[in-house]
Amino acid sequence: MPELESFSLDPASPADWSAVRLQGHRMLDDLFDHLERIRERPVWQPIPADVRTAFDTPLPADPVPLAVAHERFMTQVLPYAVGNTHPRFMGWVHGGGTVEGMLAEMLAAGLNANLGGRDQMPLEVERQIVRWMRDLFGFPATAGGLLVTGSSMANLIGVLVARTRALGVGSRETGVADPALGRPLVAYAAASAHGCVAQAFAISGLGTQALRRVPVDADHRMDLTALRRQIAADRAAGLRPFLVVGTAGTVDTGAIDDLDALADLAQREQVWFHIDGAFGALGMLSPEVAPRLRGIERADSVALDFHKWGQVPYDAGFILVRDQADQLATFASPAAYLARHPRGLAAGSPWPCDLGPDLSRGFRALKVWFTLVTHGTDRLGAAIAQSCRLARRLQARITAQPALALLAPVSLNIVCFRYLDPVEDGHTRDEVATDRFNAELVADLHESGLAVPSTTTLGGRTAIRVALVNHRTEAADLDVLLDAVVRLGARRHRLAANPSSPESAFDPVFSCETAP
Amino acid sequence: MPELESFSLDPASPADWSAVRLQGHRMLDDLFDHLERIRERPVWQPIPADVRTAFDTPLPADPVPLAVAHERFMTQVLPYAVGNTHPRFMGWVHGGGTVEGMLAEMLAAGLNANLGGRDQMPLEVERQIVRWMRDLFGFPATAGGLLVTGSSMANLIGVLVARTRALGVGSRETGVADPALGRPLVAYAAASAHGCVAQAFAISGLGTQALRRVPVDADHRMDLTALRRQIAADRAAGLRPFLVVGTAGTVDTGAIDDLDALADLAQREQVWFHIDGAFGALGMLSPEVAPRLRGIERADSVALDFHKWGQVPYDAGFILVRDQADQLATFASPAAYLARHPRGLAAGSPWPCDLGPDLSRGFRALKVWFTLVTHGTDRLGAAIAQSCRLARRLQARITAQPALALLAPVSLNIVCFRYLDPVEDGHTRDEVATDRFNAELVADLHESGLAVPSTTTLGGRTAIRVALVNHRTEAADLDVLLDAVVRLGARRHRLAANPSSPESAFDPVFSCETAP
């Protein structure tokens, strides 16, 4: 047969390799420039219409030079990202990333490892992360763990493991509708628990109604009396409680459930105790925060994200399970993993694909490992403690400012407040109008590029929500935020009082000169 | 209050930034060196005991220099990876990656975007990928899509969307056990379908028994007569067929189900038609392969991996759904996504978190976009066609070699064969011994570092399985593989005949001199 022509997507000659190398180094320098000068940029800016539509083109048959793709990234993508690397990004709960994490991800992409299984050192790096988390959370040597995209996936795994523990391995075959499985399952989480917990119940086929939302107390923590009452009522109604989900750091206010009391209750009620510690669990790295997490060491499973307080680049979620055997029972196919070869590349069972739903898995462990070793847990813990100190400082400034009202106690690193539309002529404040006012004010802030908080709803009221997660945020950044809130709020108020004013509701106030 | 000390994990001074930059460029150069000289390395090598245990140390309180972390990566991780970047990696189904994909991942890590939602250009890049896939597969403008880790997750999403379509949105609340939902659901896939499809049934609470495994024909494709018969029997038994899963490229042999016939049947039976196209679906990029996928344009959903034939670095799976409304019905919380702000960073609904289970999502889209634009679909398609040509060439060489037997027709890019332990003295061949012999032979090959096929079981027999996916593989690499199989097989056979021979069963034969 005629010999096949050679073909590859690699650079075709040493000269082509040199050109690609040069271009790659330029790209890396652009990233360094971006991060070193991050304060000179707006946090976020609206996407111009022509930039948005630049990514609506036909599937490209022919190649474009790497330099062109790079240029498009620099001019059309990077300037219009969410901005969570910026010190004045304070919205949602996003980590800031680090240079070391970025470089580790570059190494991982070059190695192009699939961590679904096989006998390879990348898996030993992931197992190192599992052992470290086991030790950090005081879990026993039997514990298993797995890196996943984020806590939505980690919480789903927690629910599935608890479900299998309650219904038995046979339920993987029969499904959850099998009448032989007995009384219907019910679980419990605080009303303030993250929506992904309910989503896990939808995905698992148990249904969101099987997740009872327990009221919270004044500190936004699960009300334990209400929880006990609900469990008793469910048992009396012929249902089967199987899981309590505690939260270590709610998204709304950063509240931490009384984990030790929940562990007592779970033990007494003989139910699985899962903790959604998406951003709060890594508080264990800080000696100031760790005592507030007491009881986490008694959980059956913990979900957390390294890309939040851990500052690892997205995405890097994690699930820790007290006994790896429960993970294997939930996900492994014994026929597959027991049949693996004792030597060669197919050795090294069990594999991550036996412990969770993914068979294709990037090398997330490397950026986590690089972040932990090149910064060390003391510094990472100090960054976490600093977030909490900044939150307390912000709280003090808000309390001192008559135009602003604090909406929830500052528990950790999240501050919820609102701008008070002044009450004219002694009339009652219109709360609905104030809600709308604050939502528009936050959009003004976004468009100003000065600072990016998000909003949330607390007790039915719209709050400006500041989550301090980025290790780059400093005290002066909080001042920029508050000054902008007061200034933009006053402008919006003046406009409301005098709609015919020539002053625009929104005036882009960002400039590199005014930013600190 | 006393002012807070500044704190950040960034380099502390311009001099520190310079040092990190220098180190980062060294790391990038090491990756370029690795990829440019990949042929000089063994594909895989066993992990020395001291290297394996190097990653069993306590959680580090103090930082180590970035250079030290890099050195450990270069000496303890990179040399002991799976080896799928290597041209003679032919195991499982792994892509080879490209330099451009690696650089894109570096950019994504520096940007550190979370693609769960918000109004940001990274999402427009992902939407570009969705539109491109919609066009590639001939899907309508209503189609939705989402990047995920891999096809295990994409297939799970397909099953969940089909489940919600069959049971209604209310089933997210009631769960699948609600008697009001009517007759129990059943679905169908070939016996040769990937295990993750059954896993999706376990996760979804429907149970693996609800997935009927339909026998395959001599070409390893789903037997349509058997499928029709099974559906009729299930309907007669009071069950409710809701989903047929076709496979475009089975893992064992690369077989493609008759997708057009399955589309006809799904239409007639009024069931959802999902296609697991994990590696085969991107055959659409090759004019030689695309006609074999006829019918894929009629699917309700398609799962695929860009990190296989698409050569994008791990992980980069994708789900395409004919009508995005079905994705929203399955995953979105209407209360959340309809309430989003019309402007500012919280605009731009619907978000990816409304279309799948993840809220934390890395910027996978960038490496997919870079790979597609810097190579173009013609070249990517040519790489796919080349894999199939190489498979036919390998088939011809195996057929010509008396010590080897082909075990399945070569359908696409996968070749299954075995070494025939010679029949001594006219005795019947011991099939069980031959199975064991071939499994050991594959482990010998792995340990030789010369070439890495994997194994599979076909008709109860152990096969040496070669999956040609890596764009770097050339005809000469197949010769190295076959020569090694014959040489190591003969050695192993001599040893079996004369166990007291001083010749070792395994002798590491790799050397840079003998490798082409």
Q: What is the mean pLDDT of residues B191-217?
A: 97
Cross-chain Cβ contact B81/A121 below 8 Å = yes
The beta-carbon neighbor of A362 closest among B91, B103, B315 is B315
Q: What is the mean pLDDT of residues B214-237?
A: 97
Amino acid at A330: T
Cross-chain Cβ contact B110/A124 below 8 Å = no
The beta-carbon neighbor of A59 closest among B206, B362, B377 is B377
Sequence-distant (≥ 6) Cβ neighbours of residue B405 within 8 angstroms: B398, B417, B418, B420
Q: What is the mean pLDDT of residues A371-383?
A: 98
**Residues 123-162, chain B, touching A (beta carbon < 8 A):** 124-125, 127-128, 131-132, 135-136, 149-153, 156, 160
Q: What is the mean pLDDT of residues B99-112?
A: 98
Instruction: Indicate the range of A36-40, A253-257, A333-337, B468-472 predicted with least confidence.
Output: A333-337
- Asked if B378 reaches chain A (Cβ–Cβ under 8 Å), the answer is yes
Q: State the smallest CA–CA distance between residue B158 and chain A in angstroms.
A: 12
Residue A1 has pLDDT above 60, yes or no: no
Local confidence band at B86 (pLDDT 50, 70, 90 cut-offs): very high
Cross-chain Cβ contact A343/B46 below 8 Å = yes
Which pLDDT score is estimated for B498?
78
Cross-chain Cβ contact B360/A149 below 8 Å = yes
Cross-chain Cβ contact A113/B305 below 8 Å = no
**Exposed (0-12), middle (13-18) or buried (19+): which is A14, by Cβ within 10 Å?**
exposed
Query: How much of chain A exceeds pLDDT 90, in percent?
Result: 86
The beta-carbon neighbor of A59 closest among B44, B125, B132 is B132
Which pLDDT score is estimated for A430?
84
Residue A343 has pLDDT above 90, yes or no: no
Cross-chain Cβ contact A101/B95 below 8 Å = no
Amino acid at A50: D
Residue A510 has pLDDT above 80, yes or no: no
Which pLDDT score is estimated for A367?
98
- Asked if B362 reaches chain A (Cβ–Cβ under 8 Å), the answer is yes
Contact between A455 and A467 (Cβ < 8 Å): no
Task: Output DSSP code: residue B219.
Answer: T
Q: What is the mean pLDDT of residues A152-179?
A: 97
Q: State the smallest CA–CA distance between residue A503 and chain B in angstroms.
A: 20
CA distances from B162 to B145, B165, B166, B191, B304 (A): 15, 5, 6, 20, 17
Local confidence band at A503 (pLDDT 50, 70, 90 cut-offs): low
The beta-carbon neighbor of A106 closest among B109, B112, B160 is B109
Q: What is the mean pLDDT of residues A220-243?
A: 98
- Asked if B471 reaches chain A (Cβ–Cβ under 8 Å), the answer is yes
Q: Which residues of A touch B103 (CB under 8 A)?
A: 23-24, 27, 66, 70
Sequence-distant (≥ 6) Cβ neighbours of residue B360 within 8 angstroms: A149, A150, A151, A152, A305, A307, A314, A315, A317, B114, B116
Cross-chain Cβ contact B62/A378 below 8 Å = yes
CA torsion A472-A476-A480-A486 (nearest 10°) is 130
Which pLDDT score is estimated for A38?
97
Q: What is the mean pLDDT of residues B250-264?
A: 95
| E strands, A72-229, in order | 89-90, 144-148, 185-190, 211-214
Cross-chain Cβ contact B305/A360 below 8 Å = yes
Cross-chain Cβ contact B446/A344 below 8 Å = yes
Local confidence band at B272 (pLDDT 50, 70, 90 cut-offs): very high
Q: Which residues of B touch A162 (CB under 8 A)?
A: none
pTM metric for this prediction:
0.96
Residue A110 has pLDDT above 80, yes or no: yes
Cross-chain Cβ contact B9/A383 below 8 Å = yes
Local confidence band at B2 (pLDDT 50, 70, 90 cut-offs): low
* Minimum Cα–Cα distance from B473: chain A residue: A8
B476-509, pLDDT tens digit by residue?
Answer: 999 999 999 999 999 988 887 777 766 554 444 4
| Rg from Cα positions in chain A | 26
A428-481, pLDDT tens digit by residue?
Answer: 678 888 999 999 999 999 999 999 999 999 989 999 999 999 999 999 999 999
What is the C-alpha separation between A493 and A193, in angstroms, rounded?
A: 34
Question: Which tokens sit at B52?
Answer: 């394996």
Q: State the smallest CA–CA distance between residue B218 and chain A in angstroms.
A: 24
Residue A106 has pLDDT above 80, yes or no: yes
Which pLDDT score is estimated for B509?
43
Of the residues A53, A136, A149, A354, the best mutation for testing chain B's interface (the one with the most B CB atoms within 10 Å of its CB) is: A149
Q: Which residues of B touch A91 (CB under 8 A)?
A: 345
**Exposed (0-12), middle (13-18) or buried (19+): which is A145, by Cβ within 10 Å?**
buried
Residue A483 has pLDDT above 90, yes or no: yes
Cross-chain Cβ contact A113/B81 below 8 Å = yes
A263-313, pLDDT tens digit by residue?
Answer: 999 999 999 999 999 999 999 999 999 999 999 999 999 999 999 999 999
Query: How much of chain B exceeds pLDDT 90, in percent?
Result: 86
Q: Could you tell me how many CB contacts below 8 A there are between chain A and chain B?
A: 540
Cross-chain Cβ contact B94/A114 below 8 Å = yes
Q: What is the mean pLDDT of residues A30-35?
A: 98
Characterize B202-223 residue by residue with b for buried, 16 or more Cβ atoms within 10 angstroms of its Cβ, and e for exposed.
Answer: bbbbbbbbbbbbbebeeebbbb
The runs of H, that is alpha helices, within A270-363 are: 324-331, 334-338
Sequence-distant (≥ 6) Cβ neighbours of residue B323 within 8 angstroms: B140, B142, B143, B144
Cross-chain Cβ contact B111/A172 below 8 Å = no
Complex-level ipTM:
0.96
Cross-chain Cβ contact B195/A333 below 8 Å = yes
Q: What is the mean pLDDT of residues B265-285?
A: 98
Task: Compute how many other C-beta atoms are within 10 angstroms of the C-beta atom of residue A490.
Answer: 13
Residue B417 has pLDDT above 60, yes or no: yes
What is the C-alpha separation between B413 and B391, in angstroms, rounded?
A: 5
**Residues 48-107, chain B, touching A (beta carbon < 8 A):** 51-52, 55-66, 69-70, 73, 76-85, 87, 91, 94-107
What is the C-alpha separation between B82 and B89, in angstroms, rounded?
A: 9
Q: Which residues of A touch B34 (CB under 8 A)?
A: 110-111
Which pLDDT score is estimated for B489?
94
What is the C-alpha separation between B498 and B432, in angstroms, rounded?
A: 20
CA distances from A286 to A219, A292, A310, A380 (A): 22, 10, 11, 8
Which pLDDT score is estimated for B502?
61
Which pLDDT score is estimated for A505?
47
Q: What is the mean pLDDT of residues A131-153?
A: 98
Residue B220 has pLDDT above 50, yes or no: yes
B51-79, pLDDT tens digit by residue?
Answer: 999 999 999 999 999 999 999 999 999 99
Cross-chain Cβ contact B59/A100 below 8 Å = no
The beta-carbon neighbor of A27 closest among B31, B94, B107 is B107
Cross-chain Cβ contact B172/A376 below 8 Å = no
Sequence-distant (≥ 6) Cβ neighbours of residue A94 within 8 angstroms: A82, A84, A307, A308, A467, A469, A470, B114
Q: Which residues of A touch B76 (CB under 8 A)?
A: 121
Contact between B59 and B102 (Cβ < 8 Å): no
Task: Compute how many other C-beta atoms are within 10 angstroms of the C-beta atom of residue B181.
Answer: 18
**Exposed (0-12), middle (13-18) or buried (19+): which is B337, by Cβ within 10 Å?**
middle
Cross-chain Cβ contact A455/B346 below 8 Å = yes
Characterize B22-51 residue by residue with b for buried, 16 or more Cβ atoms within 10 angstroms of its Cβ, and e for exposed.
Answer: ebbbebbebbbebbbebeebbbbbbbeeeb
Residue A55 has pLDDT above 70, yes or no: yes
Q: What is the mean pLDDT of residues B170-185?
A: 95
- Asked if B4 reaches chain A (Cβ–Cβ under 8 Å), the answer is yes
Cross-chain Cβ contact A51/B121 below 8 Å = yes
B378-409, pLDDT tens digit by residue?
Answer: 999 999 999 999 999 999 999 999 999 999 99
